Structure 1
Amino acid sequence: MRFRLTDDQRALRDGVRGLLARRFDGAALRTAADAPGLDRSLWRELGAAGFFALRLPERDGGVGLGLPETVLAFEEAGRVLLPGPLVATHLAAGKVAGAAGGETVVTAVLGGLVEWLAEADVVQGDAEGAVPLRSVDPLTPVHRVPRVPRVPRRVAETAGVPVSPAAPDGADGADAVTGDGAVTGVDPVAMLLTAAEQLGTAGRTCELAVQHARTREQFGRPIGAFQAVKHLCAGMLVRTEVARAAVYAAAVTAEPADIAAARLLADEAAVRGTRDCLQVHGGMGFTWESEVHLHLKRAWVRARRCGADTESEELLAADLLA
């Protein structure tokens, strides 16, 4: 399997990075954190650039690319903490009018949570009874959707209630593991694109840690000269590159088990990486002016989406048993 990007893929990645650097730089990030809200003009510009229609066939007005190219674009979005229901709107392109061009903002219920509910024009999934949560990420308003617990098999059989043979006892119907190893209610593409965003955060925070370690001095030396800091930065780099290989491979194979493994590695790289980056920065990392704490908070929120650790582990276990 070839992991080397083609010239076209590198051009796409550089183009998306350039667009985001121009329209959502560090100053825009802090402005969005101070006054949360969805920038509709930026959303439409993303749509005009083809961000949401990357996998839509050209005959339907899309770009006609594949999952690997889409992963590269979402990785760049994760690097800059681009706010908004990116995954849900991308998945709705070609299905919901206006989603591909950015005129319509689409959100979806993913793993019992729905992001940007108040800002969305269309909600996919049952969001009835959703209650707002105090999100740790100021850039991502979140609602929780109450789940109806599945009746345990033994109780259901006693009561004469029909029971799906694929659902294990006591499992939540939204995330039950079926006999063929698939997790019902979990879109593998949504899992993978979330992993790509996490990968972007992991790569960005690794860069921030190394930059700070090179410039911040203590005891007359850059802190990067101390072994403890070197180990933190090295661990961040290893986790990021391992996750990158897994995410890129899963984008090529599109196998559910590969996507689950990539999601687990990307979540770990993002959450542990941002925590280590925060430690390298010390007290400075907790300040509002630093973007490090924003990456950590976003990584926490993404890690709660569909296909999080429990679902991915169950999927991998079912695949191994099969």
Structure 2
Amino acid sequence: MRFRLTDEQESLRDGMRTLLGRRFDGAALRAAVAAPGLDRELWRELGAAGFFALRLPEAVGGVGLGLPEAVLVFEEAGRALLTGPLLATHLAAADVAGAADGETVVARVDGGLVEWLAEADVVTEGAGDVSEAVPLRSVDPLTPLHRVPGVRAGAPDPVAVLLTAAEQLGTAVRACELAVQHARTRVQFGQPIGAFQAVKHLCAEMLVRAETARAAVYAAAVTADPLDVAAARLLADEAAVAGARDCLQVHGGMGFTWETEVHLLLKRAWVRSQRGGGVTQSEELLAADLLG
């Protein structure tokens, strides 16, 4: 079976990439690090573009598309390192007034962790009193975190897991792009570092991991099978974390500095890997199926 994007899906993906390139480029990313906070104007623009209402029926004002299309836009968000509780607001679009059009920012309790609690208008999911939430020092400066005492991780939502995998895929793709770009332009010993075998291998491995994850994520978006989603999550997390690490290696010491965005890719991949029960629950689901 061949999974090929339709013309409409390609237009959707390209449109989202154009929007984010215009509204959340490298300069905006650095500005967000320097002055953390949610850009409400951008949030409303995402709402107007249908990001949050993508899977809602047209009869209730939604776009009327499905999970495959949602995967495409979340992949672009992950590629751009777009900030904010995107997943929580998207999942709440059908139930929380104003979420679909970006007027209401929604945070979500996920296994006791909450992203962007201070900026949220509404908090959904999970038990516990968010008024007792304790701020955490997040490894990712672009993802503020709180922990809600007494809340344990429940069964993961397959849609949330898959869309997180899509974001991880986008970050893995961006890491590969940055590594290849640097390998082509950085010169050592009179030639681009991409001419050296060790660097070639790193870039090739990043590409293979990203494309393998892409195939798994796209297939899971079509089948919506929990086992396919779990496998896609494992592959996407590996592609994002390992890809960002390899991208750091290609950049050398510069990759660890604020001069580049490479370290932000790794930090965001680490934080996302804890969502939806993390990779552990996906591993347990696949293991149970194999043993059963």
**Fold conserved between structures, TM > 0.5:** yes
Aligned residue in 2 for 1:187: 157
Aligned residue in 2 for 1:57: 57
1:39 to 2:9 alignment? no
Structure 1: gaps of 5 or more residues: 149-171, 176-183
Aligned residue in 2 for 1:158: none
2:135 aligned to 125, 132, 137, which one?
132
Aligned residue in 1 for 2:175: 205
Q: How does 1:107-256 map to 2 (within 5 A)?
A: 107-125=107-125, 126-128=127-129, 129-147=132-150, 174-175=153-154, 184=155, 186-256=156-226
Aligned residue in 1 for 2:264: 294
Aligned residue in 2 for 1:152: none
Distance 2:291 2:107 in 1: 34
Contact 1:30 1:289 in 2 (8 A): no
Q: How does 1:29-108 map to 2 (within 5 A)?
A: 29-108=29-108
Contact 1:111 1:307 in 2 (8 A): yes
- Identity of paired residues, percent? 80
Per-residue deviation, 1:3: 1.1
Distance 2:149 2:285 in 1: 23
Structure 2: gaps of 5 or more residues: none
SS in 2 for 1:205: helix
Aligned residue in 2 for 1:265: 235
SS in 2 for 1:132: strand
After superposition, the CA RMSD in angstroms is: 1.1
Per-residue deviation, 1:146: 2.6
* Bigger fraction of residues in helix: 2
Per-residue deviation, 1:221: 1.1
Q: Deviations over 1:251-289 (max 9, x none)?
A: 000000100100000000000000000010011111112
Distance 2:196 2:56 in 1: 49
User: Over alpha carbons, which structure has the higher Rg?
Assistant: 1
Distance 1:115 1:122 in 2: 12
Per-residue deviation, 1:31: 0.1
SS in 2 for 1:306: helix
Aligned residue in 2 for 1:155: none
Per-residue deviation, 1:210: 0.4
Per-residue deviation, 1:127: 4.7
* Bigger shift: residues 252-261 or 110-119: 110-119
Letter of the 2:146 counterpart: H
Q: How does 1:277-316 map to 2 (within 5 A)?
A: 277-316=247-286
Contact 1:264 1:308 in 2 (8 A): no
* Bigger shift: residues 50-59 or 285-294: 285-294
Letter of the 1:262 counterpart: A
Distance 2:87 2:141 in 1: 18
Aligned residue in 2 for 1:167: none
Distance 1:264 1:285, change over 3 A: same
Distance 2:100 2:249 in 1: 40
Distance 1:43 1:73 in 2: 14
Distance 1:127 1:219, change over 3 A: farther
Distance 1:75 1:21 in 2: 14
Letter of the 2:99 counterpart: A
Distance 1:218 1:56 in 2: 52
Distance 2:14 2:190 in 1: 38
SS in 1 for 2:228: helix
Contact 1:205 1:277 in 2 (8 A): yes
Distance 1:200 1:255 in 2: 21
SS in 2 for 1:108: strand
Distance 2:110 2:202 in 1: 33
Contact 1:260 1:307 in 2 (8 A): no
Could you list the runs of 4 or more consecutive aligned residues of structure 1 that deviate by over 3 angstroms after TM superposition?
A: none
Q: Deviations over 1:73-116 (max 9, x none)?
A: 00000011000000010000111000000000001011321100
